[in-house]
Chains A and B, each alone.
Chain A
Amino acid sequence: MQDLGISILFKGVNFQRLLLGLWVTLRIALITIGISTALGLLFGLLMMSRSRAARGFCRVWLEIVRFMPQLVLLYLVYFGFARLFGWNLEGETSAILVFSFWGTAEMGDLFRGALTSIPRHQRESAAALGLTKAQINRYILLPQTARRLLPQAINLSTRIIKTTALVKMINVTEVLKVGQQIIGQFYREPSVAFWVYATVFLMYFLICWPISLLAGRLETRWSAG
């Protein structure tokens, strides 16, 4: 019975399909992380802007992504946009849009936190030593901000990878959806569900674990230095 569950994983092209699904998961996550990092830095700067309107705008954006469940946002973009505006977006495009909308705000907030956590006296001391504004940014602020930001940014990335599991609800065949299809094929064998979910778990784990390990290592190394 147990052996049967494993063998089904390798029946036909089932395992290739799981890997293909995993690639879809990764593709969505990687593009999202890329966009979120780039836009997140701008978002972070905007959050510290002197303009009250800009700060308010960021505040509203951040609150929306924090309060709205990702699934609701996905439905809103995938189904809602088609219904309201006639924008018939692909599932994957909708997913990247929604996750980037979320990732940008979160990344921006992390960036803002990292930058403002650097004591003010460092900037003032550097200025007193005669460093130019560009030099202060280049040698004092940026390196320290990067150190503080990186572990948290990596943490956010693993969260994004895990959250992509939701996209199966908007017709994107990622790894979890393939898993369900395999279970559906052999619904009379209860052991299949266990093996399929265990495999999917392992796949997520093998991706997120090294990333998380890296974050932990960077954190200890940099806090010691």
Chain B
Amino acid sequence: MKRIVSIAALVLALTLILSATALADGFRTLDEIKESGKITIGLFHDKKPFGYVDENGEFQGYDVYLARRLAEDLGVELEIVAVDAPNRIEFLQSFKVDVILANFTYTAERAEQVDFALPYMKVALGVVSPDGALITDVEQLKGKKLIVSKGTTAETFFEQNYPEVQLVKYDSYTDAYLGLLDGRGDALSTDNTEVLAWAIENPGFTVGIESLGSLDTINPAVSKGNETLLSWINEELVKLGEENFFHADYEATLRETYGENADADALVVEGGVV
């Protein structure tokens, strides 16, 4: 008798688990979001100037600017979920957010787990050098010393495409920048967002080459298979491109970081077209 009871209990428990699994139908479609009157978007909370919280407790930044607009055009309220880099995919896969806009770089590996919309930003390599011997073209680097950090895209890019450039490698970003300040190389290369911001803080240095190499793009991402939401975002990005929305976004949120002379087109993608 006892055994029968425990077997029955086990079967019941399994049924409950299985039926609960069936209930986890997952993401919210476009209509469901509209109906609920609220869209949840995952944003960075500590990555200025892309997604951060200002001293008044308000979310700000390039990604946040877009998130507000998406909610506005959808006619729903925006609910922000503060995410961190390592758990961005997890938030989508567990349907805790509808969209991730946390400066999410497109990679083939990630594309297997989530669905990416069209890009709204791009990141390439930049080259910073002293004003006195400014390098504005990659050809000028031949035979010169270029500082890179080990393991970065800059290192692989120059090794493969410009073997005649002499690389000076450092273990960390901090050391690499110090190397440039000490004159251990003629220029330094890493992500353009990084060098642009660095050059602003270090007078006497300018980013002569703002965009080089294969581009990485930053795209909104939705849960795998959420096609209604994905296609709405894509249409929306194209529409926003017509009014040069992302240039306005750049002026409002990134200009301060990258300075008066930086070219917005080095980072901004309008209408999803790189």
Contact = CB atoms under 8 A, between A and B. Distances in A.
Contacts of B90: 75, 79
Contacts of A14: 55
A182 B46 CA distance: 7
Interface stretch (A32-40, A83-91, A135-143): A83-91
Main secondary structure of the interface of B (DSSP, over half): mixed
Contacts of A84: 17, 20-21, 24
A181 B53 CA distance: 6
B24 A83 contact: yes
Interface stretch (B77-85, B105-113, B186-194): B77-85
B201 interface: yes
Contacts of B57: 12-13, 17
Given A80-B94, A180-B46, A183-B46, A173 B82 contact: yes
B80 to A, nearest CB: 10
A30 B24 CA distance: 32
Interface string A1-36: 000000010011110010000000000000000000
Interface in B17-57: 17, 20-21, 23-25, 44-48, 52-57
A162 interface: no
A12 B54 contact: yes
Contacts of B95: 82-83, 88
Nearest to A181: B53
B87 A180 contact: no
B24 A85 contact: yes
B201 A85 contact: no
What interface size band does chain B fall in? 20 to 34
Interface string B92-107: 0111100000000000
A84 B95 CA distance: 11
Interface of A, helix, strand, loop or mixed by DSSP: helix
Nearest to B95: A82
Contact of B17 (A11, A79, A85): A85
A187 B45 CA distance: 12
A123 interface: no
Residue with the highest number of chain A CB atoms closer than 10 Å, among B25, B83, B84, B90: B90
Which of B21, B23, B96, B201 lies at the interface centre, i.e. has the most chain A CB atoms within 10 A of its CB?
A: B96
Given A173-B82, A181-B52, 11 more contacts: A13-B55, A13-B57, A79-B87, A83-B94, A84-B21, A84-B24, A180-B45, A181-B45, A183-B46, A184-B47, A184-B53
Top 7 nearest A-B pairs (CB, nearest first) are A12-B55, A184-B46, A86-B24, A85-B20, A82-B94, A79-B94, A181-B53
Interface of B: 17, 20-21, 23-25, 44-48, 52-57, 81-84, 87, 90-91, 93-96, 201
13 contacts: A84-B17, A84-B21, A85-B21, A85-B23, A86-B21, A86-B23, A173-B45, A173-B82, A180-B45, A180-B46, A185-B48, A185-B52, A185-B55
